[in-house]
Every structure is written in C-alpha cells, then in structure tokens.
Structure 1
Amino acid sequence: MKTTISFFLILFIAAACTNSEPESISLFNGENLSGWHVDVPAMDNNPEAINPFIVRDGMLVSLGTPGGHLITDSVFQDYRLEVEYRFAGEPGNCGVLVHASTPRALYDMFPKSIEVQMMHENAGDFWCIVEDITVPDMEERRGPKEEWGITEGKARRILNLTDGSENPVGEWNNMVVECVDDEVKVWVNGDLVNYGYDCTATKGQLAVQAEGSEVEFRKLELTSIDKITSTE
C-alpha cells in the first residue's frame, strides 16, 4: 500500500513540474534603466543633449526626441513579449524592435531588426530594418515586388491585418509579440494584427524607440516560450 501511494505521489509531482507555467520576467523594474542601454546619436558629441528615455511615476517614458533607441543588454530567443503602452497626450509614433543586432544599420539610426509598429492607427505593422520577413498576401500588403527591400529607399513596410484594434489616445493598449523560430505574431488588445514567417533572424536584443512622440510604458514583460505551447 505504501509503495502504491509513493508511486502515485511521484507521478503527481512529475506532472506538476511538467505543467508548470513558463517563468516571466519584467524587463523594466519601475525605478531605473537597469538591463538596458541607450543608443542616441545626438548624445555622441553633444554633452547638452538630453537622454530621451526616463523613468517617471514608475513608468518607462520615451520623450520622443532626440531620436534613438533603448536596447536590452541581453539577447532573447523564443519568447512572448507583453507591452502596455499609451500616447498620453497627442497621437504619435513609436515601436518595439525584435531580433535587434547591429546598431545604426539603417539611416545611421535604426538597429538591424524587425520593427513592430506602435504608431497611432498603424499598430502592428512590420517594418523591415536590414532584416526581412514574409507574410501572406505579400504584394497586397507590401506593394510591388520589385520595390521590396530592407535598406534605405526600399519598400520596408508591411501593413497589418486590422483597423480599429487600438484604444483611443490616452487609454492603455496591450501589445503581445510572440517570436518562435522564424515566426513573429502580433496581437493588439487581443486582436491578431500581424503574422510573419521566414524571418531572417530568430534571436536578438529588444528595443523601444524615441521617434518624435512621447509614449509611456507601464509593462514590459517577457516569457520564455516552449515551442510546443506557442499560441495558435
């Protein structure tokens, strides 16, 4: 009898370990920019240039100018990134970059990456920044094939799938970006707004932009993802 109880106890513990939730980490501690570094060209030789990335009231804030990026020190692969953001004042532009690597690879500003757009009324667009990705209905969403490219002057924008997924300016938006192998999926407020595959990168740093508009972030949470349990 004791042997039988012990056997089932072992099975229960093993099942519990197998079904445990993946561990999530917050990329922003609410106090400082620990774990990140700033890449803002205007700060290179101008000691009076301000850092456009600040912490205010427990939030990470991109002031928008001068332009640049806040980049994680760490490299990530196979994950789900959840971001809560808002344009508190005027509608504006920003983005989250996944699979970021070589800094200032485009226009001496943007790191090599795939940008997931946050620009008001365009959230979920892909922008190819010296990396590339494929989506269904490619010509309809990217334009004529002969104009495609991943460098300056090329058709780098890939339109999202939906309109109306964003909340009004001043309200918080929830964006989820899931990167598994060479696929990238994006949800905005629960709507699947983009899906790409055959991405030319499968890992890299993460970055947020200063791109002309003030935007607040209250959540930047990353969950390492088991490929078996990725969201359909």
Structure 2
Amino acid sequence: MKTKITFLLLVFMALNGMAQKSVNLFNGKDLSGWHTDIPNQDKKADLPPSFVVRNGNLVSMGEPRGHLITDAEFENYRLEVRYRFVDKPGNCGVLVHASTPRALYGMFPKSIEVQMKHKNAGDFWCIVEDITTDDMEARRGPKEKWGITEGKNRRIKNLTDGSEKPLGQWNEMTIICKGDEITVWVNGDLVNHGFKATAQKGNIAIQAEGAEVEFSKIELTPLAGN
C-alpha cells in the first residue's frame, strides 16, 4: 500500500509540474525569515524563548506557548517537514494559510492546522477558517456542532492509524496546498485530503504547544503557475 501511495505522489508531482526550485524555510543556523508570536511575552518579556536552533535543528520548546510564523506568505506549494518528539509524546502542528494573529483563544492565528500530535498526525483543525473532506460527519461529528470558533467541532480526524514512527524517530510529513485543496502524507501514507478551503494563501506557522519537538527540514517547493 505504501509503495502505491508513493507512486501516486510521484505521478501527482509530475502532472502538476512540481520540479521547481525548492526553498529551505529553515536554514539550519538561525530563525531568519521567521517571527514569533508568544502572547505571554506581552506581560513578561524576559521569558525563555519558545523556539531555538540546536545542533542544526529548529526546536519548538513547547513553552511558553505560541507560534513561529514565516515573514512571507505562500500559496500553491508542497511543504516537506521532518520532525520528531524529543523526550516524550506531545502536541504540535503546522499551520497553513495563517493570517490574523490570536484569532482563537487569544493564541492561535486564523489558519488551517495540520496536526502533528502523537498518534493524531494528519488531522485537520479549523481555526477561524474551514475545509471540507469526505465522510465529514464520521470524521467531524454531528453537523450541527461543526464550526470554526471556540466550543465548536473544529477537528477533522485523519484517514489512518499507525502512520507515525516510534517515539524518537524522524517522521516525514508532506503537505500539498493547491487552490482550495490541502493533501497530507505522513511517512508515505495518505492521511488527509480536504477541499473547499476558505483560505488559499497565507503564512506558515509552527506551534509551541506543550511538547519539545525537533525539526530538521522545512522545505517549500512552489507549484507550477506561481
């Protein structure tokens, strides 16, 4: 099955003219091209950093909670992320099409989150933006409870279990944003596909959400037509 998915991904890439120049959003040295939004720093500026560079990896320290956000906006791209939880399983995420900061709970920017939480990698979380998938009621719950703000069913469960590597090993996540569609692979498994997204461009953000996570690769490749 994994071989078939990998083949389909290669075909998809070829058909969409994706062999364009890739951009390393993380240079392995510092946080150039990014800025942070850490709400607790508003009142206490001397808090330890939520994001650091260590041994050539970008590290989300998990606390204080907030986001590392690209200075630039992007649309129509393939994003490849290599990550692992360091000491214990926890929560983190990649936010695409991010815009208005602190739009949810005074913390999360308006966006669509691709979940990285241990054993839930590939879930979608709607953060004041929305997206549609197949089998929505089975994966999101009763329709009358759907929503994109506080107290609503914002989670859309992924398609697979067991796609993540054991704790401490590197996971490969690929996110393809094209038009109003978002498709996600984890370690070669197709784990989610959404369409009719209410945003099609924006910043990319990494979360600090309670767990220490290392990133060795954050690479973006524009799709044809950009």
State the TM-score, normalized to the length of structure 2. Answer: 0.91
Name the structure 1 match of 2:31.
33
Q: Distance in 2 between matches of 1:48 and 1:26?
A: 30
Contact 2:36 2:68 in 1 (8 A): yes
The percent identity for this pair of structures is: 67
> Which residue, 175, 178, 196 being the options, matches 2:176?
178
Q: Distance in 1 between matches of 2:208 and 2:45?
A: 18
Aligned length: 210
Provide the secondary structure at the position in 1 that maps to 2:139.
helix
Name the structure 2 match of 1:209.
207
Name the structure 2 match of 1:226.
224
Measure how far apart 1:47 and its partner are.
2.4
Q: Distance in 2 between matches of 1:50 and 1:109?
A: 18
Provide the secondary structure at the position in 2 that maps to 1:71.
strand
Provide the secondary structure at the position in 2 that maps to 1:207.
strand
Distance 1:155 1:20, change over 3 A: closer
Provide the secondary structure at the position in 1 that maps to 2:43.
coil
Between structure 1 and structure 2, the one with the greater Rg is 1
State the TM-score, normalized to the length of structure 1. Answer: 0.89
Q: Distance in 1 between matches of 2:18 and 2:199?
A: 29
**Root-mean-square deviation (Å):** 1.3
Q: Distance in 2 between matches of 1:178 and 1:109?
A: 25
Name the structure 2 match of 1:135.
133
Q: Distance in 2 between matches of 1:109 and 1:50?
A: 18
Say if 2:117 is the partner of 1:122: no
5 Å-filtered alignment, 1:2-21, equals: 21=19
Off by >3 Å, runs of 4+ in structure 1: none
Q: Deviations over 1:183-226 (max 9, x none)?
A: 00000000000000000000000000000000000000000012
Say if 2:56 is the partner of 1:58: yes
Name the structure 1 match of 2:146.
148
Provide the secondary structure at the position in 2 that maps to 1:171.
coil
